[in-house]
Structure 1
Amino acid sequence: MPIATSPKYTSPEYMDRVRTAIATLKQDLPTLFEKDISYDIYTSDIVFADPVNQFKGKFNYRIIYWTLRFHGRLFFTDLHFDLHRIRHVATDVIMAYWTVRGTLRLPWKPRIYFDGASTYKLDADGLIYDHEDSWDRSPGEILKQFFQKGS
């Protein structure tokens, strides 16, 4: 039986966990550059991938969020994660659509801007075991923004 059609995926407990995951993401993502997120909705062996990183494990997942906050404060005068929409798109998948925007701490004040989507896959207990980010442009195109004068 395919995993997403298992009776466990339609139980009230599973759906409560999905609702909790969505509510937690809605609360955590807009402030991820300012404060730590909650890790209760993730499995201990969560897998993460984006166009420049890939790793496994909740400890490493915590480190990536710490790194985002540290570098955000160090290199940006302002940095924002604008969450546009979160949707439960399949029994075991949540999608989040967002924009990162900010101003680098450089004399010419370059502005950084890119859109992205996060795909969160849920296990039969309703915990996120896989988080994959995609961006609307390549890392190189984003890096080019560092050298453009801000408006």
Structure 2
Amino acid sequence: MRDELRDNRIIQTLEQDLPTLFEKDICYDIYTQDIFFKDPVNTFKGKFNYRIIFWTLRFHGRLFFTQLFFDLHKVFQIDELTILAEWTVRGTLRVPWKGHVFFNGTSTYRLTPEGLIYSHLDQWDRSPQTILKQFFQKAESSEI
């Protein structure tokens, strides 16, 4: 039988880390050394590379956006070894036309029997090309 306290700690850590991932680093204690990550533009393995992706998100967020948010809607366990997070990324680009970026996604985290995350798979509700096109569209309003 799995340790529910350990699983709750994983969920609590994700709930704490994800909303501020564009502002500060996350806690890496809940991930295995050989964590596998895949999203529509990246695929890699290893905790070092995982750390780099979050550093890159913060760096590019500060460089290219005046405002950037990771809205975490829900984190929940869907089975004994799987946790799902539902979220939205939204921001205002640092360009004269103040373009907006907006997309929804899910993160699926797979757990080892010991209760560490060994796989993180992201899915987005639109293609990377569609998201990139948002960089060049004039914002319709000042709200994001």
Scaled by the length of structure 2, the TM-score of the pair is: 0.96
Deviations 1:68-113 (A, max 9, x none): 0000000000000000001100100000000000000000000000
Match runs of 1:43-62 below 5 Å = 43-62=32-51
In structure 2, the partner of 1:7 is none
AA matched with 2:71: D
In structure 2, the partner of 1:74 is 63
The Cα shift of 1:17 comes to 1.4
C-alpha distance in 2 between matches for 1:29 and 1:116: 13
3-state SS in 1 of match to 2:14: helix
In structure 2, the partner of 1:6 is none
Task: Please tell me whether the aligned partners of residues 15 and 126 of structure 1 are also in contact (alpha carbons under 8 angstroms).
Answer: no
In structure 1, the partner of 2:12 is 23
Deviations 1:4-58 (A, max 9, x none): xxxxxx24xx322111100000000000000000000000000000000000000
C-alpha distance in 1 between matches for 2:40 and 2:105: 11
4+ runs deviating over 6 angstroms: none
Quick check: 1:122 aligned with 2:111? yes
AA matched with 2:119: D
Scaled by the length of structure 1, the TM-score of the pair is: 0.91
Q: Which runs of 5+ in 1 are unaligned?
A: 1-9
3-state SS in 1 of match to 2:98: coil
Q: Which runs of 5+ in 2 are unaligned?
A: none
C-alpha distance in 1 between matches for 2:85 and 2:63: 26
In structure 2, the partner of 1:5 is none
Quick check: 1:36 aligned with 2:25? yes
Q: What's the % identity of the aligned pairs? A: 66
